[in-house]
């Protein structure tokens, strides 16, 4: 329990004092990979709850058509895609961050989003139409806080200047797109090969 409390205190410290927090994470061995991955899973679960249980005033989803697995994938896949793309990019640009440190920095940066999404879900069930603007304000705040923490986290982990951090983050997004394109191309090719093999098999069975 003391470890959980210690990790929670460090997480709260990091999200409000990111420069010192990420520095302690990299050089003083504060934080843990397990906590970072737990925060990522927490965000995935909170995102599912937000889409399914938000009040009708702000929830335009058809709840019966929502797929929980797909909703989880929408958080987990971009998380690892960003980490892999950032590691690939910064390896070529003299970044000092290890892959584990990138995963930790990204995971801890997601904590405010998880908390604000949870608050939004609860709030959406008691607000009126006139108060919906506050709900969307929390959405904007969550995204801005995430981007700020990611920026400080990447800058500290890789020991980059502010300008180089912005450039490498933009390049990371480009690499994410390239990885997605190659991945879709690969699965499309595999699908065609499997389809061709099935056609050959059916033809052989039909002839015999």
* pLDDT value of residue 39: 95
CA dihedral 111, 112, 117, 123 (to 10 degrees): 140
Q: Is residue 157 a contact partner of residue 31, using CB atoms and an 8 Å limit?
A: no
Q: Is residue 168 a contact partner of residue 34, using CB atoms and an 8 Å limit?
A: no
Q: Is residue 78 a contact partner of residue 4, using CB atoms and an 8 Å limit?
A: no
pTM of this prediction exceeds 0.75: yes
Q: Hey, where are the domains in the chain?
A: 3-207
pLDDT in tens, 32-91: 999 999 999 999 999 988 888 888 888 777 767 777 787 778 889 999 999 999 999 999
* pLDDT value of residue 1: 55
Mean pLDDT of 170-197: 93
Q: Is residue 188 a contact partner of residue 195, using CB atoms and an 8 Å limit?
A: no
């Amino acid at each position: 329990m003391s470890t959980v409390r210690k990790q929670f205190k460090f997480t709260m410290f990091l999200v409000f004092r990111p420069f010192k927090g990420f520095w302690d994470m990299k050089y003083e061995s504060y934080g843990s990979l397990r906590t970072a991955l737990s925060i990522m899973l927490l965000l995935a679960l909170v995102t599912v709850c937000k889409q399914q249980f938000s009040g009708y005033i702000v929830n335009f989803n058809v709840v019966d058509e929502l797929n929980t697995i797909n909703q989880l994938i929408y958080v987990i896949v971009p998380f690892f895609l960003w980490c892999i793309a950032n590691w690939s990019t910064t390896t070529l640009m003299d970044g000092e961050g290890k892959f584990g440190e990138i995963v930790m920095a990204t995971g801890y940066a997601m904590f405010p989003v998880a908390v604000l999404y949870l608050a939004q879900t609860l709030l959406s069930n008691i607000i009126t139409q006139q108060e919906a603007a506050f709900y969307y304000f929390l959405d904007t705040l969550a995204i801005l806080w995430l981007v700020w923490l990611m920026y400080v986290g990447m800058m500290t982990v890789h020991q980059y200047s502010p300008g180089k951090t912005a450039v490498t983050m933009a390049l990371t997004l480009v690499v994410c797109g390239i990885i997605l394109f190659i991945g879709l191309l690969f699965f499309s090719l595999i699908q065609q090969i499997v389809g061709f093999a099935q056609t050959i098999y059916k033809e052989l069975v039909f002839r015999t």
